[in-house]
Structure formats: C-alpha cells, structure tokens
C-alpha cells in the first residue's frame, strides 16, 4: 500500500464463516422491514445494476427526480430504516477510530454477473473526517481504488466474503468502484450474489 493510499486499510478475513452467516441473517432481518429497491441515476433515470436498502437513522438513496441524498425513510414503504445491527456497530468501534457512531448502513446487493459499480466518489456526507467502513459478504468482487482525481492511476484487488475495508484520511475522497463479481467464489449465498455493507457518519457530530 503506497503513501497515496494513506488511511486505506484492508482487513482480509476479519469475519469468519459463522460471523458471516450471522451477518447475513442480520441482513435478512433488515430486508423484512426495508426490502431492496431499485435505485436509478439522477436525470437519466438509468437503473443501477445493484439493488439497495439501508439500516440506521439515515439511508443513502438515488432516484431520477431527487438525485443522490440521505433520507430517514424507505423510498417505497415510507417507513424508518431498521437499526444498524450490533455486530456492525461493534466493528465501527473496533476499526473506525471515530468518536461518534455511524448513522447510515448502506446495503448493496450485487445480484447477478452484470452487477457492478462505476468509478465514483462518496461525497454526500457532511462529516468527511469520518471514515467509511465496509464489509463484503458472498461472491468475491474485483474492487478498484484510484485517487482524488478521476484520471489518477488505479489499483485493483479482490474483496472476499468476510473482508473489511476501512477508508479513512485521504482515501475517504478517492475514486473507487466494483468492476465485477466472480461466480462460484462463495457458498454463503447462491452464486454470483454479493452483499456489501457500508457504514457512514452523515452529519457532523455536536
């Protein structure tokens, strides 16, 4: 990891198999209150290839009309998002190095071989000093991390089930994306499904 990637931490195999299964059950519980919805791109209305839901006081969403934003309610059910699971709050305390708790846990579902996430930055939060903490479950993904400018050189690596990524410091602002998911790489879910859980602080703590 170069100096450029300062603040970026990959913790391979942070969660073992039993904990992955327990986290997947937590996701199923979230889905009962807040099912996956189909996010669409601002202006174009292009559907994303990843489906989403959230846990926490605030959830990240996007649709054609409103664009990227955080809101307190599920866009279809109009009910509050369920709470962030305790295992994830404990993870944030263990690796986040940030005093205030996370407010949002975005659940990304890569449901097919065509699911991907284009190169982007996460810029919708008002607490840019807080890290982003992410957990991968299921199929292995090819993840790409660049720099603060879209044209910066990128490096790619695989994220496997149970891996944790912490984006702190400068890396918090770097371009990143998911190029593909690999079939038959995990027995946690039917291939080639992958779930990524991403915790964020959205508002500035008092």
106 binds, among Fe ion, ligand MD3, none (CB under 5 to 8 A by kind): ligand MD3
Nearer to Fe ion among residue 113 and residue 173 (C-beta): 173
60 is in an annotated binding site: yes
Rule CB under 5 A: is residue 125 a binding residue for Fe ion? Answer: no
Residue 129's contacts (CB-CB under 8 Å, 6 or more residues apart) are 98
Rule CB under 6 A: is residue 140 a binding residue for ligand MD3? Answer: no
Distances (CA, A) of 46 to 2, 49, 62, 63, 134: 36, 9, 11, 9, 25
Q: What angle do CA 48, 86, 99 make, to 5 degrees?
A: 90
Nearer to ligand MD3 among residue 198 and residue 206 (C-beta): 198
Rule CB under 6 A: is residue 186 a binding residue for ligand MD3? Answer: no
Q: Name the binding residues for substrate.
A: 60, 68-70, 124, 150
Q: Which residues bind ligand MD3 (CB under 6 A)?
A: 106, 108, 117, 122, 132, 134, 141, 145, 165, 167, 171-172, 174, 176, 178, 196, 198
Q: Name the binding residues.
A: 60, 68-70, 108-110, 120, 122, 124, 150, 176, 194-200
């Amino acid at each position: 990891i170069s100096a450029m990637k300062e603040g970026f931490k990959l913790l391979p195999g942070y969660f073992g198999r039993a904990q992955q299964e327990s986290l997947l059950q937590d996701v199923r519980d979230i889905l009962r209150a807040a099912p996956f919805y189909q996010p669409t791109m601002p202006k174009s209305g292009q559907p994303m290839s990843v489906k989403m839901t959230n846990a926490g006081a605030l959830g990240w969403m996007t649709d054609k009309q409103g664009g990227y934003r955080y809101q307190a309610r599920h866009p279809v059910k109009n009910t509050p998002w369920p709470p962030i699971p305790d295992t994830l709050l404990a993870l944030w305390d263990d690796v986040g190095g940030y005093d205030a708790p996370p407010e949002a846990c975005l659940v990304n579902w890569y449901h097919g071989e065509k699911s991907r996430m284009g190169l982007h930055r996460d810029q919708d939060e008002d607490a840019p000093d807080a890290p982003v903490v992410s957990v991968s479950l299921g199929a292995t993904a090819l993840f790409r991390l660049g720099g603060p400018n879209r044209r910066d050189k990128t490096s790619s690596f695989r994220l496997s089930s149970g891996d944790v990524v912490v984006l702190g410091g400068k890396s918090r602002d770097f371009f990143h994306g998911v190029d593909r998911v690999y079939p038959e790489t995990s027995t946690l879910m039917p291939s080639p499904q992958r779930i990524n859980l991403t915790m964020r602080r959205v508002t500035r703590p008092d």
